[in-house]
Amino acid sequence: METFNFLSISIFIFLLFLLYKLLNKPAKNLPPSPPSYPIIGHIHLLKKPLHRTFHSLSNKFGPILFLQLGFCRVLVISSPSAVEECFSKNDIVFASRPHLLAGKHFGYNFTAIGWAPYGQHWRNLRRIFTIEVFSSNSVQHFSSIRKEEIESVIKHLVGRFSGGEGFVKVEMKSLFLELVLNVMMRIVAGKKFIDYGDDERKKKIELDNLREMFVPNVSMNLGDFFPVLKWFNFIIGIDKKLAYIHRKRDAYLQNLVVERCKNRENDLTDQCESKKVFIDVLLKLQETEPEQYPRDIVNGLIGIFFTAGTDTSALTMEWVMSALLNHPDVLEKVMVEINLHVGNHRLLDENDLPKLPYLHSVINETMRLYPVAPLSVPHVSSEECTVGGYGVPRGTILLTNIWAVHKDPKAWDDPMEFKPERFIDALEKDKEGKLWSYSFLPFGMGRRGCPGNLMGMQLVSLVLGRLIQCFEWGRLGNEEVDMSEGPGLTMPIAKPLVAVCKPRQAMMDFLTKNLVDSGNFI
């Protein structure tokens, strides 16, 4: 039996090697590449975190790096000039997504907007998002939701303050995530995700459940590198895991649709149009064009809010607050700017944000140093092209090392230093911000860039602005906040931020009057 097993494995490896040689004929003028092994290629070089591994390899072999991961060809770019070439001259060539196992399951067999190939179907989905959610009018339509949820957080924090000179301890990661989830859930389904007064154990279970469904720790796997492995039993475990998460996610999304339908039927005030949410838009489309908007398409459109819009926004807020606590002089400058343009007699409003360039510069500088998506979502070349004078074969996966581009010394002075003023100075020279158009990529680039950047920045800016306006913030101890990176597809802080705060004395009259007397903000 042992001899038979050894022979079977030997034959399998030999056939795999032959298949590898047949399907991976050497292309001409490929970009620089590290030494590789037969069959596995450069897989042995992949170590977490990937953005740092790619950065190290690019320092040795150049900013346009070619890797062979099993049967997958991968191009990793790490310079603004390569970014410009890929997403200007070759933007359409790289406008599609690779066929990975995650896209098969989480992307509803590559029909969801995040995984669909470039074409009419994708353009139609993108148009829905652009018009119904992320246009200027739509962002304004949902402004009351953002303000109300931030006010709920402020009330919650003020309610915990017992008076005197003491500070209260705040676990910022959960606070920000709950806030963003409430905003997104109300935009999508017209209801809160969670209440701040809920039992902490219950909230943790809800959040962990949502993270498992929408931020699973899976990306590319051996089945993507070696498609032949999908035919063998030892790969089925991975496929089953992805399928299980997808079924759980799909059932959750469908329940949101069913619940919204029931609420609309029971809405006796007939005010559904004024309270229109994203599911309402999709249901109307489904009624008029049922063949074009079946259940999978609808659920895929809803799901993108939770996969792309929640964890990233909450993590950005946590990174910004951590950076501010480590730079109290910068925090003081932000507070002075808010005092100057807003004052203490009312809450900062979205109309005030254009008057707060230093706050925006702090957020931008934090996203530059600590991008929550350090690697771009994968693109794939639909035809042969050239990048930097090198040949790129059709079907090559493109990854942009955003983390490395943001630290390119040719694009940024003192790239490892936290200097928000650099964005102020650049805007004085270039009002449209084109000086860093290919070196600052927090929302991606090209046709597949994130359409929600306006709404995301509005939310992040308003949350941080109001929290700084209303509270004094400090570190839990004397030591600086640890800015180490944690593991994951996004880039979390290794140790979740715990800060301390108390209401600012100058805001106490306003906060007390609106909380105690009326229970509502003006």
What digits encode the pLDDT tens for the residues 296-317? Answer: 999 999 999 998 889 999 999 9
CB of 225 closer than 8 Å to CB of 72: yes
Condensed to tens digits (0 to 9), the pLDDT of residues 54-78 reads 999 999 999 999 999 999 999 999 9
Pairwise CA distance, residues 374 & 48, whole Å: 12
C-alpha to C-alpha distance for 339 and 352, rounded to whole angstroms: 11
Residue 2 one-letter amino acid: E
Predicted confidence (pLDDT) per residue in 120-174, tens digit: 999 999 999 999 888 888 888 899 999 999 999 999 898 887 665 678 999 999 9
DSSP-derived 3-state class of residue 456: helix
Decide if pLDDT at 336 tops 80.
yes
pLDDT at 270: 46
For residues 175 and 186, give the distance between their C-alpha atoms in angstroms, rounded to a whole number. Answer: 17
User: Alpha-carbon dihedral of residues 321, 322, 325, 331, nearest 10 degrees?
Assistant: -40
Q: Which residues contact 293 (CB under 8 A, 6 or more apart)?
A: 282, 285, 286
Other C-beta atoms closer than 10 Å to the C-beta of 88 total 12
- 198-226: average pLDDT: 79
DSSP state of 472: E
Q: Output the CA–CA distances (angstroms, integers) from residue 37 to 52, 57, 302, 378, in the order listed.
A: 22, 16, 43, 24
Q: Work out the widest C-alpha separation in the chain, in whole angstroms.
A: 84
Residues 6+ apart with CB under 8 A from 391: 27, 28, 29, 30, 384
d(CA 336, CA 228) in angstroms, rounded, equals: 61
Task: Render pLDDT for 103-123 as a digit per residue (tens, 0 to 9).
Answer: 999 999 999 999 999 999 999
CA separation for the pair 121, 289 (Å, rounded): 14
- Measured CA to CA, the distance from residue 192 to residue 259 in angstroms comes to 13
For the segment 474-497, what is each residue's pLDDT rounded down to a tens digit?
Answer: 999 899 999 999 988 889 999 999
Q: Which residues define the annotated binding site? A: 450
Nearest to 372 by CA among 256, 213, 488, 514: 488
Whether residue 5 has pLDDT greater than 80: no
Instruction: Identify the H or E element spanning 75.
Output: strand 72-77
pLDDT tens-place string over residues 415-426: 999 999 999 877
How confident is the model at residue 154, as a pLDDT? 94
- Asked if the model's pLDDT at residue 1 lies above 70, the reply is no
Q: Which CATH architecture has domain 25-516?
A: Orthogonal Bundle (1.10)
Please report, in range form, the residues annotated as the binding site for heme.
450
pLDDT over 80 at 275, yes or no: no
**Mean pLDDT rounded to a whole number for the chain:** 88
Structure tokens at 53: 């591994």
Cα–Cα distance measured from residue 85 to residue 186, given in angstroms and rounded to the nearest whole number: 39
The whole-number pLDDT of residue 497 equals: 97
